[in-house]
């Protein structure tokens, strides 16, 4: 954008304020925040105070941490970013749920990719029962429906020694 490039030339960084659903305000450089498509569009519409009604302070703090780190991304620190990402997805499942929902709402594509991959990785090699327990999902099939679902791909559910552990 013309305005942001001219302000960076003069050394003055354009600042934006993000407001969480709990009412906390975070002031950040525009260059960091525009990784988020939803906010980028609001900035283009002239907003500088951006209320995020669907994102609480705890989640927003994590998202800002992610955006700050990824704004530093260059050719030379790929390894560092990779390690950061690895640590970033180590939080509790409840936190990841809030994060992935917020990343979806804010359209931060990189963060959505990272979280969805981490969630998909947790399913690898698990049994249906183990996946339900890991994600705390209650079985909403009737016994008949479940029988039908299992019948469709019987080979994938029977006789195997699945990983029933919950890590």
Partner 1 sequence: MVNWSELPYDLLVMIAKRVLVMEDFVVFGAVCKSWRSTATKENFDESLPQVSLLMLAADKDNDYREFFSLSKKLKGKCVFQHKNGLPPHTGLDDCEPGYDYVIIDLAVLSANPSLTSDYVLMVSYYGHGSRLAFW
**Positions in the binding site for partner 1 (CB under 8 A):** 93-94, 97-98, 100-101, 104, 112-113, 116-117, 119-121, 123-128, 131-132, 135-141, 146, 149-162
**CB-wise, 5 or 53, nearer to partner 1?**
53
Distance in Å, CB of 17 to partner 1, minimum? 27
- And the tokens for 21? 């659903």
Determine which helix (DSSP H) or strand (DSSP E) holds 50, and give its type and residue range.
strand 49-51
- In this complex, which beta carbon is closest to partner 1, that of residue 77 or of residue 125? 125
State which residue, 86 or 160, has the beta carbon closest to partner 1. 160
List the Cα angle 114/118/119 in 5-degree steps. Answer: 120
CB of 76 to partner 1, least distance (A): 28
Torsion of CA 38, 42, 48, 52, to 10 degrees: -40
User: Token pair of 87, please?
Assistant: 């640590």
Q: How far is the CB of 28 from partner 1 (least distance, A)?
A: 25
Nearest Cα residue to 99 out of 111, 81, 87, 117: 111
Closest distance to partner 1 from the beta carbon of 48 (Å): 29
Mutual angle of helices 37-44 and 93-106, in 10-degree steps: 30
User: Considering beta carbons, is residue 82 or 154 the nearer one to partner 1?
Assistant: 154
């Amino acid at each position: 954008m013309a305005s942001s490039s001219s302000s960076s030339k003069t050394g003055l960084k354009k600042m934006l304020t993000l407001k969480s659903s709990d009412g906390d305000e975070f002031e950040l450089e525009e260059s960091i925040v525009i990784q988020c498509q939803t906010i980028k569009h609001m900035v283009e519409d002239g907003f500088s105070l951006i209320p995020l009604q669907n994102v609480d302070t705890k989640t927003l703090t994590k998202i800002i941490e992610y955006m700050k780190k990824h704004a530093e991304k260059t050719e030379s620190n790929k390894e560092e970013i990779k390690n950061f990402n690895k640590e970033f997805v180590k939080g509790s499942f409840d936190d990841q749920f809030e994060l992935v929902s917020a990343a979806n709402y804010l359209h931060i594509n990189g963060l959505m990719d990272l979280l969805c991959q981490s969630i998909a990785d947790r399913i690898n090699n698990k049994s249906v029962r183990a996946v339900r327990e890991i994600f705390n999902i209650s079985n909403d099939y009737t016994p008949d429906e479940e029988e039908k679902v299992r019948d469709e791909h019987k080979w994938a559910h029977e006789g195997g020694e699945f990983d029933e552990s919950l890590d």
